[in-house]
Structure formats: C-alpha cells, structure tokens
Chains A and B, each alone.
Chain A
C-alpha cells in the first residue's frame, strides 16, 4: 500500500519535461559525442568504481555549470527551456542527422506530396522577354525563307540568330528583383496515374533596394512574375530530377541503405548523369542529395545519404537559423564550382530538409523552403498531421 501511494506521488510533469529535454537536446548531444574521442576498452572492473572514475573526467565541464548556478538571483525569473549546445562541426551534425533519420518511421501511400515556397532572382520580365524572343523567331523565319537556295548565307544567318538569342538570355535586368511563389506537387507511386502540379500560388515580387524599385518604375514597371495560378493534371511519365533521369518515385525506395553501397551507386549515377545543371562532382552530389532528401527514401537510405554527405570536405556549419515559417534548423554550406554555394537547413529533431539555397556568397540565386512533404491518398489532399 505504501509503495502504491508513493508511486502516485510521482509528478506527471516529469515525463513532459523529460520528453521535451530529450527532443531539444538529442541532436546536439549526439553530435557532440560523435565529435569526441572514445576511450579504449578497459579491463573489466566493478562498475561502481568505473562510475566514479568516469565522473572525474566530466567534472571540469561541470564546473562551468556550477558557477552559473551560484551567480544569479534566486527564483522569480520565468522558466525558459535552455537551448542545447550547437554541434561542433558540420560532419558531426550530419552523423547525428544520420542517426535521427534512421529512427524516423518508414511510410508509404498513393501520392508523394511536396509543397515548396520558391524564391529566386528575376532574370527577365516575362512580358518583355517573350515578345522579344517571338520577334527574333519571326524575323528569322522571314530571313530563312528569303535565303532558300543559298546555304552559305543561310548558315551564317542561323549562327547570327543563335547569337542574338544567347545575348537576350544573358541580358540581365538593370535592377535587382526577386520573385516568390508556392508550388504543390502530387506524384503518383503507380505508373500511369495522374500527377498534379499547382504553380504560381501566392506570388510576391520584392526588390533588392528602394533604388532597384525606382529603376524598375523608370523602366516602365514591367510585370516581373507570372501571377496566374495554374493547375496541371496529366499522366505523362516524367523524371522528377534533371540530373538523374534514371531515378523516379518508385525506384528511389530501392536505393541502398549501406553507406559504401550508396556511395558507389551515387558515383555510377554521376557517370550516367547528363549533367544538365553543369555542376562539378561536388555540386552534383549536393544537388542530388537535396533531390533525394525531398523524396520518399527508406530511413536507412536517408541515414546513409547523410553519412555520404558528412564525408564531403569544405563543408561549414553556419549555426542555428529560423526559416520563413519560424521553424528552427541548423544551416550547413559548401562551395561548388564557379563560386557557387549550396546551403542547407536541416531540422535537428527529425533530420528533415527545411530549406535549401543556391547562390553566390553575397546573393541568393534560388531559395526553396520545403513547407510540407509526405504521403496522401488522393489528389488535392495534403498529408495529415
């Protein structure tokens, strides 16, 4: 009777606080451990003794805690959950993320749903660019008609046309503007089923500075983004990822779960890649890593992917950041060729990719915030929870 009564004196709050601490601390604690050398195995001793000696090694670290405790004024300050220490480097963070990924449950469904907020530098005003391209094409048609039967001048005219198009494509706006929109996709797991993409939702245009905005007005204030929401339903089989046309929603679940096997597989994929994005090997690996992090991988493959990325050199841990949805994650960045930089923000507690960015050191070229991802059973539905 005494034991039962005593058992019921245990405050329920203990479980909540322990769970909360566990969630907040886990990622940083694992990362800190993995960055710390382990002691070699000792000969077996009674473990009481061992506990005593082990404590000796941690006392120095705790001295700091003790100092903090005695300096403050007692009571009254509001209880704020203490922040966990940041992992020491990108590698240990990614190793911890690998462990976390392994813990997340595997799931499946009929459609893989992704909602992303895309933010990018505007290269040209669509309303200005399209008519110019059309004018070039029309003029070229007339020229080619006239030059029929003169292969030499025809070839020269074609060369001139290509040069003009390239020039038009290279031309940048004389001001810095950025466009943002939301895109949702439902990709079916079964071949032949209808996929849906809803583009151009909540379109917003912003400028680099008030001067940029003034320059845009002076330029006649052209429309800088396609604002028409567009829903596209079709059953056309597409490769979701440019760099890896052989991968699709069905076979990503077959990617290896072993680190070495996945590394070899990614090497093969790199050799087969059409290299559409023109990236170097490091750039390819990051781009493919991002693509796979937004795909329905097996937890084991996701874990292996983090471990492959952890072995990439020149990766930098930038610190904790908040994304536009107010979610907190750890930012990592790595340079690729041509001064381009890739930056990832990963959730510490779930190892999910929250955001990625491609750009130079001083400017974002493309930033994608992954607002939601998961399985649904019908088109138009969003994942539960």
Chain B
C-alpha cells in the first residue's frame, strides 16, 4: 500500500459511497456527486496528510464544500426535506412492518421541528455510527457541544414521538421534488 495510486483507489472504494450518501442529504443528486468527487480530489492532493480513520475527515471536507455551495442557493434544502424527498414506498412498507408507535410522516414532522444541527448530530451518531469525538470533528464543533446537540435531539425526539404525550408537532408539507431544477 505504499503506492499512492493504490492507496487512493482503496480510500475511494471504501468511502466514496458513504461520502455521497451524506452529500445526498444536503443537495440534489448532481451537486452531491460533484461535491463527493471534489472531496476525493482534495483527499488525493492531501493524501500524505490524511488522518486515521479518514472517513470523518472526508465527511468534514464534503460538509464544508456543501456549506459553501448552499450559500448561493435560492431555496434552502433542509436535511429533513431531503430525507422526505428520498423516501420511497419501500421505506414506507418497511416502517409499517416494524409497527412503530407513530407513523413515518409524524416522525419526520417531529424531526423537522428540531434545529438542523441536532438532526445532523443524530445522523452521524446513528447512521454513520461515529463516536462523539469524530462526529464533532466532522461538524467543526467541540465534543461537548456535539454531545449537547445529540442529547437535546434524542430528548426532544423521544418526547415528540411518545403518542398522546405533550403537544404533537404540527404536520407540514414534506415533499420536495428530487428532480434537479437545472437539468
């Protein structure tokens, strides 16, 4: 693995899907792919400096690139809207089979009521399985701040999802088209 080309190929094969999976939560498909490609180009330039494990670093680069490009966006793409947009009938069936106490729509509505960064903290903890120090590195905050966000997210989500307990979040329109507006 001393060969830089081999090392980079291995890095790409292991982590590209994870990086793109994250970018797809923040942007439409073509932008997400461009950002992921750009992230790996940065990784290639900095191959000698990559930390171990590299995934949090890669996610951090992708996150910053996405933040840059989102500044100029006309319409804000909320994380929860992207989740809703990417949800298919297959997910719906899976959810129904699991017999959760609330329906999927209600769960998404509860998420939409949380601060975006709190939801993101949940994504890194639950979907990526990152320990707090790595997740904090991706989000560019201290471990302490990250833990506060995660705790708050879990607590509010837990409250909102207990049926008949406390105010139910108001349903809102969650469908954002997946289509690219500039195709």
Segment among A55-63, A173-181, A217-225 that sits at the interface with chain B: A55-63
Say yes or no for B86: interface residue by CB 8 A criterion: yes
CB neighbours (8 Å) of B113 from chain A are: none
Q: Check B45–A51 contact: CB distance below 8 A.
A: no
Q: Check A2–B154 contact: CB distance below 8 A.
A: yes
Q: Check A8–B95 contact: CB distance below 8 A.
A: yes
Q: Given the known inter-chain contacts A5-B100, A17-B24, A26-B16, please indicate yes or no for A75 contacting B177, CB distance below 8 A.
A: yes
Q: Check A25–B21 contact: CB distance below 8 A.
A: no
Q: Check B72–A72 contact: CB distance below 8 A.
A: no
Q: Check B154–A59 contact: CB distance below 8 A.
A: no
* Residue in B34, B57, B179 whose beta carbon sits within 8 Å of that of A76 in the complex: B179
Give complex CA distance A41, B51 in Å. 12
Q: Check A12–B65 contact: CB distance below 8 A.
A: no
Give complex CA distance A28, B33 in Å. 12
| CB under 8 Å from chain B, chain A span 11-67 | 11-15, 17-19, 21-22, 24-26, 28-30, 32-34, 36-42, 44, 47-48, 50-52, 54-55, 57-59, 61-62, 65-67
Give complex CA distance A34, B140 in Å. 29
Q: Check B111–A79 contact: CB distance below 8 A.
A: no
Q: Check A61–B38 contact: CB distance below 8 A.
A: yes
CB neighbours (8 Å) of A34 from chain B are: 5, 8, 44
Q: Which of A9, A13, A38 gathers most chain B CB within 10 Å?
A: A9
Number of residues from A at the complex interface, CB < 8 A: 73
Give complex CA distance A71, B65 in Å. 19
Give complex CA distance A47, B127 in Å. 23
Q: Check B42–A57 contact: CB distance below 8 A.
A: yes
Q: Check B17–A62 contact: CB distance below 8 A.
A: no
**Least CB separation from B27: chain A residue:** A69
CB neighbours (8 Å) of B130 from chain A are: none
* Residue in B17, B42, B65, B126 whose beta carbon sits within 8 Å of that of A18 in the complex: B17
CB neighbours (8 Å) of A72 from chain B are: 180-183
Q: Given the known inter-chain contacts A3-B154, A7-B126, please indicate yes or no for A18 contacting B73, CB distance below 8 A.
A: no
Q: Check B57–A33 contact: CB distance below 8 A.
A: no
- B44 to chain A minimum Cβ distance, whole angstroms, is 4
CB neighbours (8 Å) of A58 from chain B are: 38-39, 41-42, 61, 65
* Residue in A8, A66, A71 whose beta carbon sits within 8 Å of that of B100 in the complex: A8
- A355 to chain B minimum Cβ distance, whole angstroms, is 25
CB neighbours (8 Å) of B46 from chain A are: 38-39, 42, 50, 54
Give complex CA distance A324, B64 in Å. 43
Prevailing SS type, chain A contact patch: helix
Q: Check B35–A62 contact: CB distance below 8 A.
A: yes
Say yes or no for A167: interface residue by CB 8 A criterion: no
CB neighbours (8 Å) of A59 from chain B are: 65, 68
Give complex CA distance A67, B16 in Å. 24
- B144 to chain A minimum Cβ distance, whole angstroms, is 15
Q: Check B94–A7 contact: CB distance below 8 A.
A: no
Q: Given the known inter-chain contacts A55-B42, A71-B182, A74-B75, please indicate yes or no for A50 contacting B126, CB distance below 8 A.
A: no
Q: Check A55–B91 contact: CB distance below 8 A.
A: no
- A48 to chain B minimum Cβ distance, whole angstroms, is 6
* Residue in B12, B86, B179 whose beta carbon sits within 8 Å of that of A11 in the complex: B86
**Least CB separation from B71: chain A residue:** A66
**B interface residues, Cβ below 8 angstroms from A:** 4-6, 8-9, 12-13, 16-18, 20-21, 24-25, 29-42, 44-49, 51, 57, 60-61, 64-65, 68-69, 71-75, 83, 86-88, 90-91, 94-95, 98, 100, 104, 107-108, 111, 122, 125-127, 137, 140, 154, 157-158, 161, 177-183
With A30-B5, A58-B42 known, 13 other A-B pairs at CB within 8 A are A3-B154, A5-B161, A13-B86, A18-B17, A21-B32, A25-B37, A26-B12, A51-B61, A51-B137, A69-B72, A72-B181, A73-B182, A77-B179
15 residue pairs from A and B, CB less than 8 Å apart:
A8-B95, A12-B90, A12-B94, A17-B21, A24-B33, A41-B48, A58-B42, A59-B68, A70-B73, A72-B182, A75-B177, A77-B181, A80-B180, A81-B29, A103-B13
The list of the 10 closest CB pairs from A to B, nearest first, reads: A72-B182, A82-B30, A41-B48, A33-B44, A77-B183, A11-B86, A99-B9, A18-B17, A74-B181, A51-B60
